[in-house]
């Protein structure tokens, strides 16, 4: 979120499905009372795969804790409690809940082992592993559950996240297809938006996200959908629309963390930097994610607020985080020790975490540590998968410029600014300066370049001057 990285936006689409992973089929004391109370509303939302409000989620956790105090041998209730802890930790950015979740889910398996059909706890452990960024473990638990119950739809969001984290985008798309066969509604359309975005199909992603917003019922679920729409608008360089969509989300849930961050990002892009600084502070108070800390720090640095930037970078460097490999790697590459960032990101790559975000960060860290040739391999992996990321294109363009690949560098630097001219308050101006330094293509063709080469040169010039038309050519 910072520099624009892939973990920032639609990958959060599955938070509402964490609790649904248990299916919450066992909650007899909550049902049949007439008007639903807060805990029962959370159960109803979970069954639909939707996000409950945070107060309702807290009520469910309190209810399960009371129930288990009197009935500690209830394996199903332990699974429900573990899933609820995972969802709360994800939505508040509080990793302390993950330890509580693991304890509850392991207790569930102790009371009712996997061999006796406790798929709820296994799926809960898969969701928890995904929340922690342990994609291999998430995949293992998810595939166990899919083998046991292939028609259980909540396993597929877990698998989609795991495959994406491992860089297995083909498997993620197949899991998405199966999810669409098994289930419908807002949660599925939100997942479809993520899949289309990852493939670079921006118009389709926006249409699916609009469907999710239209199908959402509870305020928390609708706010999540509107926030997702805001992120998509910002990614394609439309900060005014992003501001409007995040504002709509905040009118439903006034402290919706992703939309506070989205507003800060859009305000910075519009030059309303004082408002952006205030909004980042509110976002970090509500949802202190590592990518948000980095992005807020880079805004402060771009404004010359060096002390504030250093404090935010130190907060990121010394904090306890989940899923922080990419922001910590970018922090080291740009604001610390690039060689140490390479070591960190190589370790992540060796763990099998080969998403486009990790590829981009590793390539950038290698470049910043003086290894441009090796860096280009990873930059290509990041940009060639399909996701249209201004940051990825900027990184690749800078690497190519260092290697004196002037044509490709010009193309990717221009592409970054075409995708989103204000993709980062710190790096977008650098992209403009780098593009100016590369200069225009030569008017005279080098010796040996024929008509085909001339046509390519003309296409590059046209790309430099062409103004993007929103919604046109989104699959290119």
DSSP category for residue 347: H
Structure tokens belonging to residue 311: 């404090």
Cα dihedral 202/200/322/286 (nearest 10): -20
> What is the C-alpha separation between 435 and 397, in angstroms, rounded?
9
> What is the C-alpha separation between 332 and 344, in angstroms, rounded?
9
Percent of the chain at pLDDT above 90? 80
Q: In which region does residue 304 sit, left (phi positive, over 0), alpha (psi from -120 to 50) or beta (all else)? A: left
Nearest by Cα to 277 from 289, 255, 261, 291: 261
Residues contacting 248, CB < 8 A, separation 6+: 226
Nearest by Cα to 194 from 220, 156, 247: 156
The pLDDT, as a whole number, for residue 109 is 97
Q: Model confidence over 374-415: pLDDT tens digits? A: 999 999 999 999 999 999 999 999 999 999 999 999 999 999
| pTM value surpassing 0.75 | yes
Question: What string of DSSP letters covers 243-295?
Answer: HHHHHHHHHHSTT-HHHHHHHHHHHHHTT-HHHHHHHHHHHHHH---HHHHHH
Say whether pLDDT at 274 is over 50. yes
Structure tokens belonging to residue 14: 């599955």
Helices (H), 71-154: 75-92, 96-111, 119-131, 135-148
Q: Model confidence over 210-255: pLDDT tens digits? A: 999 999 988 999 999 999 999 999 999 999 999 999 999 999 999 9
Coil, strand or helix: which one is 126?
A: helix
Average pLDDT over residues 262-278: 98
Say whether pLDDT at 445 is over 70. no
> What is the C-alpha separation between 455 and 458, in angstroms, rounded?
5
Work out the angle at residue 128's Cα, subtended by the Cα atoms of residues 124 and 131, and round it to the nearest 5 degrees: 140
Give yes or no for a contact between 89 and 15, defined as CB atoms under 8 angstroms apart.
no
The pLDDT, as a whole number, for residue 442 is 75
The pLDDT, as a whole number, for residue 47 is 77
Cα of 464 vs its chain's centroid, Å: 29
Structure tokens belonging to residue 90: 């994800």
Average pLDDT over residues 435-439: 96
Work out the angle at residue 402's Cα, subtended by the Cα atoms of residues 401 and 406, and round it to the nearest 5 degrees: 30
Work out the angle at residue 442's Cα, subtended by the Cα atoms of residues 441 and 447, and round it to the nearest 5 degrees: 125
Nearest by Cα to 77 from 118, 24, 117, 36: 24
The residue with tokens 């166990």 is 144
**What are the distances in angstroms from CA 262 to CA 179, 229, 268, 276, 387?**
28, 10, 10, 10, 19
Give yes or no for a contact between 154 and 131, defined as CB atoms under 8 angstroms apart.
no
Q: Model confidence over 449-462: pLDDT tens digits? A: 444 444 444 444 44
Q: Model confidence over 338-375: pLDDT tens digits? A: 999 999 999 999 999 999 999 999 999 999 999 999 99
**What are the distances in angstroms from CA 30 to CA 59, 395, 403?**
11, 53, 64
Nearest by Cα to 91 from 120, 138, 58: 58
Q: Model confidence over 109-138: pLDDT tens digits? A: 999 999 999 999 999 999 999 999 999 999
Q: What backbone torsions phi and psi does residue 45 show, to the nearest 5 degrees?
A: -60, -40
Say whether pLDDT at 476 is over 80. no
Which range among 22-31, 47-56, 304-313, 355-364 shows the weakest confidence by mean pLDDT? 22-31
> What is the C-alpha separation between 115 and 109, in angstroms, rounded?
9
The residue with tokens 């939707």 is 50
């Amino acid at each position: 979120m910072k520099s624009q990285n892939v973990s920032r936006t639609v990958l959060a689409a599955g938070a509402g499905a964490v609790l649904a992973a248990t299916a919450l089929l066992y909650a007899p004391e909550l049902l049949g009372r007439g008007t639903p109370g807060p805990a029962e509303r959370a159960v109803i939302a979970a069954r639909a795969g939707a996000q409950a409000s945070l107060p309702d989620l807290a009520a469910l956790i309190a209810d399960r804790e009371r129930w288990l105090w009197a009935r500690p041998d209830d394996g199903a209730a332990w699974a429900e409690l573990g899933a609820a802890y995972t969802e709360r930790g994800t939505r508040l950015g509080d990793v302390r809940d993950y330890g509580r979740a693991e304890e509850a889910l392991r207790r569930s398996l102790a009371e009712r082992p996997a061999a006796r059909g406790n798929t709820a706890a296994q799926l809960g452990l898969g969701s928890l592993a995904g929340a922690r960024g342990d994609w291999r473990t998430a995949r293992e638990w998810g595939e166990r559950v899919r083998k046991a119950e292939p028609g259980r739809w909540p396993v597929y969001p877990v698998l989609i996240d795991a495959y994406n984290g491992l860089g297995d985008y083909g498997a993620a798309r197949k899991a998405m297809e199966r999810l669409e066969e098994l289930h419908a509604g807002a949660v599925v359309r939100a997942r479809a938006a993520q899949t289309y975005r990852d493939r670079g199909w921006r118009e389709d992603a926006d249409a699916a996200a609009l469907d999710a917003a239209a199908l959402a019922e509870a305020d928390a679920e609708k706010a999540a959908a509107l926030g997702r729409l805001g992120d998509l608008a910002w990614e394609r360089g439309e900060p005014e629309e992003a501001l409007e969509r995040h504002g709509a989300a905040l009118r439903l849930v006034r402290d919706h963390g992703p939309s506070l961050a989205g507003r800060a990002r859009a305000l910075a892009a519009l030059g309303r930097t004082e408002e952006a600084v205030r909004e980042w502070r509110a976002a970090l108070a509500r949802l202190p994610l590592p990518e948000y800390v980095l992005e807020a720090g880079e805004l402060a640095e771009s404004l010359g607020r060096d002390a504030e930037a250093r404090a935010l970078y130190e907060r990121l460097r010394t904090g306890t985080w989940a899923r922080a490999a990419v922001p910590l790697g970018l922090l080291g590459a740009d604001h610390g020790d690039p060689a140490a960032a390479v070591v960190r990101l190589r370790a992540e790559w060796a763990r099998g975490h080969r998403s486009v975000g990790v590829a981009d960060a590793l390539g950038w860290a290698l470049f910043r540590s003086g290894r441009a040739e090796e860096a280009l391999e990873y930059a290509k992996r990041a940009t060639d998968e399909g996701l249209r990321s201004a940051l990825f294109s900027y990184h690749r363009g800078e690497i190519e410029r260092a290697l004196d690949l002037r044509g490709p560098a010009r193309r990717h630097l221009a592409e970054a600014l075409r995708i989103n001219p204000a993709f980062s308050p710190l790096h977008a101006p650098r992209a403009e300066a780098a593009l100016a330094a590369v200069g225009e293509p030569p008017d005279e063709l080098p010796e040996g370049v024929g008509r085909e080469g001339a046509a390519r040169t003309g296409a590059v010039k046209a790309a430099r001057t062409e103004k993007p038309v929103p919604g046109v050519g989104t699959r290119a």
